Structure 1
Amino acid sequence: MARGTATGPGRKRVVARRRLKPEEIADLVREIRTWDYAREPLTWDAVIDFAEGLFGHKWRRQTLEGHDAIKRSFQKRQEEGPRKARRAPRDAAMALYAKQVEALKEENRLLAEKLAAYEQRFARWAVNAFLLKGLTEGELDAKLLPTDRGQTDPKLKGGVK
């Protein structure tokens, strides 16, 4: 059976799947975080329709929910509910700026969480390197060796100088 063809009467056509790109995930998360409840309530169907309009492809709920960032932003916005939705300013430009500021604040918070996780991970690696391998901080901070590109010419061996 060929992909993308119907196999008989009443059978649905198999449509090729398309993965979400990282920038599409980021755009969708930003939109969910600043969801306007005045427009419509936040539901997975609404998110699916919004994503289809934004990217020109319709994904299933399970696909969108499978991305942790989308799922967390959806759940957080659901918990906040319409109470968090502020009254839109009369000036459309101000509404746009307010939405951008809110999205940037949320992005800032997420980046701070990510940085803290990286700092914890680095500390764990440093302790393990010292305890398990006996490496000192000076050895861990040493410059990396030049990459050997497999040069056969002895003048070029050992990297570019």
Structure 2
Amino acid sequence: MAKHLSKPDVSAIINVIHGWDDGRITWEGICDAVAGMIGKRPTRQSLCGHRDIVSAYKARKSGLKKSEPVLAKPSSLTLAANRIRNLESKLADLQFQNAALLEYLTLLQYNAYKRGMTEGELTMPLPQIDRERTQL
């Protein structure tokens, strides 16, 4: 029987996927890599059941397909430390923005539910803009 994954397990699996450098990434390879971390080898199906894991897998797989440029090495450790601090600051800011957007989305979902809106009504495409251009 497949093991249900907790939030820390999902987070650990996503971190393994983000740090994947073994060349070709496969679901079976991920299952093998995380088996020791979460205490039991998960199945491919249990990993595919989590949207965040699937999204990280697809992003990493497409990233590995592209030829990544050789990283430019900073000339000193001070420059490297400054760059790391800057990137960590940007990451923290983006995580804060993401959390705020998720909270806003939850508010919108709740209000739509209270008003009886269906998913079809919420996902209707935007209307086309008619700019009255002539056909050539």
TM-score band, normalised by the shorter chain?
Answer: 0.5 to 0.7
Query: TM-score, length-normalised on structure 2?
Result: 0.55
Structure 2 gap segments, 5+ residues each: 74-79, 117-136
Give the Cα–Cα distance (whole angstroms) in 2 for the partners of residues 21 and 58 of structure 1. 14
2:62 counterpart residue number: 79
1:23 aligns with 2:1: no
Give the Cα–Cα distance (whole angstroms) in 1 for the partners of residues 3 and 109 of structure 2. 37
- How far off its partner does 1:111 sit? 5.7
1:51 aligns with 2:29: no
2:122 counterpart residue number: none
Give the Cα–Cα distance (whole angstroms) in 1 for the partners of residues 93 and 26 of structure 2. 25
1:116 counterpart residue number: 101
Give the Cα–Cα distance (whole angstroms) in 2 for the partners of residues 51 and 110 of structure 1. 25
- How far off its partner does 1:51 sit? 1.2
Identical positions, percent: 17
2:50 counterpart residue number: 67
- Number of aligned residues: 103
Query: Structure 1's 27 and 123: CA in aligned 2 closer, same or farther, altered over 3 A?
Result: same
Query: TM-score, length-normalised on structure 1?
Result: 0.48
Residues 1-161 of structure 1 mapped to structure 2, 5 A cutoff: 17-36=2-21, 39-81=22-64, 83-84=67-68, 105=91, 109=94, 112-123=97-108, 125=110
Query: Structure 1's 126 and 78: CA in aligned 2 closer, same or farther, altered over 3 A?
Result: same
Which structure carries more helix by proportion? 2
- How far off its partner does 1:69 sit? 1.0
